[in-house]
Amino acid sequence: MSTLMSGAEAVRTIAQVGNEPDWLGHWRLQAWESYEGAPLPDRVAHLWRYSEPEKFLIDKVEPLLPDGSTGQAVDPTIVRTLSDKFASEATQGLAGLLIQQDMRAPKFSLEEEWREAGVIFCDLSSAVEQYPQILEKHLGKQVSIEESKFAALNAALFSGGVFLYVPSGVEINAPLHAVHQSNQDLAAIFPRTLVVLEEGASAILIDEYGNTPDAGSNGAAPRVIAHAVTEASIDKNSQLQYFNVQNWGARTRSHYTQKIHVGRDAQAVSGGIVLGGIYNKADIRTELLGANAYSEMIGVLLGDSLQHFDNHTEHVHVHSHTYSDLDFKVVLEDEARSAYTGLIRIDLEAADSEAYQENRNLLLDKQCRAESIPELEILNEDVRCTHGATVGPIDEEQVFYLMTRGLPRRAAERAIVEGFFAPVLDRIEDKAMHGRLWNYVRGKLETKTNR
C-alpha cells in the first residue's frame, strides 16, 4: 500500500469521491478488513499450488483512486474517436460500448432501442448513484468478500467498472463491448463487472482488459497489478454470452475471479481469450442452480516469452437435469507456463446431469511447459460425465506436410495453431462475435509470424 494513504483511507476516499451510499462504503471497509486480516493463501491449498500469492500483493504499487470524474453517456461517434481500436468498423453492429482508462472517466453508449427497453449499460460507479436498489440487491452476491483474500481486495478498491442489466423479456440481439484500460506505471487496478439478466432476457458481452503497450516509463509496457472480478446472475430462461478478453500488457500481473449463477432453463456461454499479462491466475466458476440450466465454457490461451498462466475452472451442478461442457485449448511457445485445473462437481441432488470437460495443450517449443489436471467430485451416480486432457508438441509431420505446399515453417505452425483453436471458437454462432474474438487471437499470432 502507498506510503501516503492507508488502505482504509483509500477505501473511504473512494466511497466519498463516488458519493456512495452507506451500505457500499460499509461493505468496502469490511472487505478491506477482510483482505488485511486474511493470511496469504497457503501454497499447499490446491488453488495455489501453481502460483505465488506474493506476486499479487499491492504494497509496492499505487492503487488507483477515482478522480471524481463520473461516467459520461456519450454519442457513439465520439466514443469512436477515443481509441484507434474503435476508429474502424469495430463499433459497427454493437448494441453498446463502454471504455474506461485507469478505472476513471468511463465513456459509454447504448443504442436508443435498448435504453428505452430498460437496459442499463454503464460503469458501476454511475450505476450506484442512479440505481442504488438494483446494485444493493446484486453487487457482491456471486463474488462475495468471503470468496478469497484477493476478491475482497477488489471489493474494497474497485471503481469505474461495468454494469449490465437487462430487464425481463428483453433480448439484445447485438453484442455489447466493454474495455478496461490501464496505462499508469506502477499501479494497481481493480476492474469489476456485474451482469444481471432478468427472466427471459438475453445479452452478449465482451469484456476486454488491456493497456497501451508503451504507456510505461521509457516506452515500455506499464507495470500493473490487476485484481479483476466478474459476477453474473442470470435468471430463469435467460441467455448470456460473456467473453472475457485478457489482453493485459507484457508487464501486468493479473488475478481474476469470475462467477456465474445460472437459473432454471437459462443458458450461459462464457469464454476466455487469454493472451496477455506476465503472471496470471484466474478462478472461473459457473453454478447450475435450476433444472435445465446449461453452461458452455470455452477458452483459448496463447502464451509466449516467460508468461505464466494458472487457470482453474469449476462447473458446479447444484440442481438435477443440468448440463455443462468445457473446451479449453492452450498453445505455448518460448518458455511460457500453463497450469490448468478443472473441477466438475455434481452435487448429491443433481441427478440426470451431464458434464463434459476437455483441455488440450499444444507446445511449440521444448522449453514451455503445460499441466492439465481434471478434478471430479461426483456425488450422484445417475449422471453422464467425461473428461479429456492432452499435452503434446506440435506434430512435425503436419508441419512438413504444410511446408511441402510452400508455407514457411512459421506460417505452417500458425496454420496448425489456428486449426487447433478453430473448433473452440467455431462454437460461437454469432458471426460478428466469432470474427471479433478471432481478431484478438490473430492479432497476437500476427506479431509472432512476423518476427
Partner 1 sequence: MSDNSHPLFEVQNLKVAIDGNEILRGVDLTINEGEIHAIMGRNGSGKSTMAYVLMGHPHYEVLDGSVKYKGLDMLDLDTDERARLGMFLAFQYPMSIPGVTVAKFLHSALKAREESGEVAVREFRTNLNEAMNLLGVDSSFASRYVNDGFSGGEKKRLEILQMFMLEPDFCILDETDSGLDIDALKTVAEGVNAMRSEQRSMLLITHYQRVLNYVKPDVVHVMMDGKIVRTGGIELAETLEENGYEWIEQELFQNTEATGIGTAEA
Among 78, 305, 411, 435, binds partner 1 (CB under 8 A): 411
Residue partners of 59: CB distance under 8 A and separation at least 6: 1
Q: Smaller CB distance to partner 1: residue 373 or 403?
A: 403
Q: Residue 439: phi, psi to the nearest 5?
A: -60, -40
Sign of CA dihedral 85, 303, 420, 268: negative
Q: What is the DSSP string of 25-94?
A: HHHHHHHHHHHHHSPPPPTTSGGGSSS-GGGG--TTSEEP---S---EE--HHHHHTT-GGGTSGGGTT-
Q: Residue 85: phi, psi to the nearest 5?
A: -55, -30
Residue 307 C-beta: closest distance to partner 1, Å: 23
Among 406, 429, 450, 451, binds partner 1 (CB under 8 A): 406
Q: Per rule CB under 8 A, is residue 395 in the interface with partner 1?
A: yes
CB under 8 A: which stretch of 27-35, 343-351, 380-388, 414-422 binds partner 1?
414-422
Q: Per rule CB under 8 A, is residue 418 in the interface with partner 1?
A: yes
Among 114, 150, 190, 421, binds partner 1 (CB under 8 A): 421
Q: Per rule CB under 8 A, is residue 397 in the interface with partner 1?
A: yes
Q: Smaller CB distance to partner 1: residue 174 or 416?
A: 416
Number of residues that bind partner 1 (CB under 8 A): 24
Q: Per rule CB under 8 A, is residue 219 in the interface with partner 1?
A: no
Among 401, 435, 439, 447, binds partner 1 (CB under 8 A): 401
Q: Are strands 104-110 and 96-101 parallel, antiparallel or unpaired?
A: antiparallel
Residues 360 and 394: beta-carbon distance below 8 Å:
no
Q: Measuring CA to CA, which residue among 275, 221, 265 is closest to residue 243?
A: 275
Write each residue from 351 to 390 as x if it is in contact with partner 1 (CB under 8 A), else as -, in one continuous string: ----------------------------------------
Q: Per rule CB under 8 A, is residue 429 in the interface with partner 1?
A: no
Residues 401 and 368: beta-carbon distance below 8 Å:
no
Per DSSP, the three-state class of 212 is: coil
Among 404, 429, 450, 451, binds partner 1 (CB under 8 A): 404
Residues that bind partner 1 (CB under 8 A): 395-398, 400-409, 411-412, 415-416, 418-423
